[in-house]
Amino acid sequence: MGNYYQEDIECASQEQIRTWQNERLVKQVKYVYDNVPYYRTRMKNKGVEPEDIKSVEDLHKLPFLTKDDLRDAYPYGLMARPLSDCVRIQSTSGTTGRRVVAFYTQHDIDLWDECCARAIMAAGGTKDDVVHVCYGYGLFTGGPGLNGGSHKVGSLTLPMSSGNTDRQIQFMTDLGSTILCCTPSYAAYLGEAIHERGVQDKIKLKAGIFGAEAWTEEMRRDIEKTLGIKAYDIYGLTEISGPGVSFECSEQTGMHINEDHFIAEIIDPATGEVLPEGEKGELVFTCITKEAFPLLRYRTRDICVLSRKKCSCGRTHVKMSKPMGRSDDMLIVKGVNVFPSQIETVLINQGFAANYQIIVSREKNSDSIEVQVELTPAMAADATFDKELTRKKLVSGLKDMLGILAEVTLVEPKSITRSEGKAVRVIDKRNLYQG
Ligand code: DLL
């Protein structure tokens, strides 16, 4: 057994977890009904009263909330507490519409920190670690969340925020950072930069906690090799608190959801019907302990699978798979569903790094997809490297994976703009979602 932060909770029996969830859900539904007029109206419209919810079995009776509801109710419409009880806001980047703003009481911040602390402990963190946080600080939840978790664990916390790669590496070497927290794409970039500077021997990292965007198993292996660490996934979203809703343990086969705070369901995104465990669908969360912004049945749009298979780490909380895409950013090209992660798998299996961009266009009602892929420095330096043969192999690998033809353009190393936060993988020129 590892060094647990809250073994009594994280390794509790399934029955015990269900008992906590039942009690908390009943209370929370009444609390939301009494304090959030927006949701009360939704419940009334569906003919549901708080008394109808007696246990988790009744959860399906409650109405869903979606990102559209959050935009509708912006900024205060889903709050359950007066502003004077709140101590913090965080927000999404708002690139696809109005920002989502989430509110926190001190109690909410404490719970969130606790969830992130569990993630750090699960990655082997202790009070003796130096936790290097280069998720963005500010409105984005990444920096503040991991920062709070690291404090709870008692580790020395380096609040680096994103950017300034030279300074990141300098602090990493001077202060002996042992746990790196950032997006996987930035971790891959840092790995490259460390090797370029030839300072890999001065790096003391042992683990990384990477999330906030989709990344594949292949990318994990790549980062683990480049940085000489074990790379752990962490998941979360602003609406539900931020990072730490779920996190990976040493088994690295999915992320344990903090079930004492969040109830997870998987639904069919088309019909809203709850699917049995093991089936792939949209992840829905109900917050059962939050005070200021307690969303019930929030549709995440993330597509994944839940599993209650026994975990070798001893934790009993249900595990979610890596999101396999989002029901709303899934690309439909020539009528075929395409997830960027499928493309990434092909690239990495053929020896490329995860430096690529997908460009989707439409001419005369016909879709086309182009994948721009960076050559690795080794490929670019190799005089015998056969570019055209490699390109053709990629086209064929993508055809096998996606079932459609994708154009491939090989570009020079470092020519695709690096991201310090979430990578921009897709440029969809079709503007299908306007108006
Ligand atoms: O990305 C919170 C976070 C910060 C998570 C740091 C992990 C680490 P948002 O900006 O609200 O919050 O974006 C939430 O990002 O619905 C997923 O689609 C995606 N996402 C988050 N974590 C993962 C992950 C933060 N580990 C949205 N794998 C979510 C794949 C992820 N996608």
Which pLDDT tens digit goes with each residue over 191-231? 999 999 999 999 999 999 999 987 888 889 999 999 999 99
Distances (CA, A) of 201 to 132, 165, 178, 192, 197: 18, 17, 13, 14, 11
Residue 71 confidence (pLDDT): 86
Strand ranges, E, within 292-395: 298-304, 306-307, 319-320, 331-333, 336-338, 356-363, 366-374
State the distance from the centre of ligand 1 to the C-alpha of 284, rounded, in angstroms: 14
The residue nearest atom 13 of ligand 1, judged by CA position, is 237
Phi and psi angles of residue 172, each rounded to the nearest 5 degrees, phi first: -60, -40
pLDDT in the model for residue 177: 98
d(CA 367, CA 355): 23
CA 286 to chain centre: 17
Q: pTM for the full model?
A: 0.85
pLDDT of residue 93: 63
pLDDT band at 329; cut points 50, 70, 90: low
Ligand 1 interacting residues, C-beta cut-off 6 A:
92, 135, 141-142, 211-214, 233-238, 242-243, 300, 302, 322-323, 326
Torsion of CA 7, 11, 17, 21, to 10 degrees: 50
Ligand 1 atom at shortest distance from the alpha carbon of 146: 6
| Dist CA 265 CA 281 (whole Å) | 9
Outline where 350-416 has alpha helix (H).
377-381, 387-402
As given in the structure block, the two tokens for residue 35 are: 């304090």
How far does residue 236's CA lie from ligand 1's centre (Å)? 5
Is there a cis peptide before residue 63, judged by omega within 30 degrees of 0?
no
Please say whether the beta carbons of 203 and 187 come within 8 A. no
Distance CA 101, CA 98 (A): 9
- How far is the C-alpha of 192 from the C-alpha of 184, rounded, in Å? 12
Q: From ligand 1's centre to the CA of 64, what distance in Å?
A: 20
pLDDT band with cut points at 50, 70 and 90 for residue 363? confident
Q: Which pair of structure tokens corresponds to residue 223?
A: 């980062």
Spacing of C-alpha 14 from chain mean position: 25
For residue range 99-139, what is the model confidence (pLDDT) as tens digits?
789 999 999 999 999 999 999 999 999 999 999 999 999 99
Q: Exposed, middle or buried, 45 (CB in 10 Å: 0-12/13-18/19+)?
A: exposed
